[in-house]
Amino acid sequence: MLGPTRDARIYLLDEDQRQIEPGGPAVIGPDGERMEIPPLVYRAVSHVLEAMQAGQAVKVMPFRPELPIDEAAYAIGMRRDDLRKHVAAGDIPFRSSESVDWVQLADVIRWDNERRARRRAILDEMLADDPEDGEA
């Protein structure tokens, strides 16, 4: 094992992912009480435990499924003006109320994951094409 991950993650369960699987993961309390949990919740708890066992601090906070753009930017670790530009460009759907523009957190997470994957692919391609790699 390489050690705990230092990346921030957002765990958002859709309706299907909230279901408990019989015989699936569970949390067992000190009194022996067993609470079955969805598999993705287990992954989130594992992420927290991994970091804490390595001496890192962890911040856990709930988010609503629909957020003002500024809060959504905070959730994914992006400057709010940058996220606003992408929303204005039509990259992420939104709705407006009298004073606030709202986005679905699931849409923002999906867009952010796709953006990160595109960046990774570009970097991988650039590194694969590096002429200095073959010279020694």
pLDDT tens digits, 38-91? 999 999 999 999 999 999 999 888 999 999 999 999 999 999 999 999 999 999
Contact of 9 with 45, CB cutoff 8 Å? no
Cα(65)–Cα(56) distance, integer angstroms: 27
Question: Facing residues of 102 across strands?
Answer: 68, 95
- Going by the DSSP 8-state scheme, the letter that residue 46 receives in this structure is H
* pLDDT the model gives residue 66: 96
Bigger pLDDT: 127 or 1? 127
Q: How does the average pLDDT of the chain come out, rounded?
A: 89
Provide, for the chain, the percentages of residues in helix, strand and coil under a 3-state DSSP scheme, each rounded to the nearest 5.
Answer: 45, 10, 45
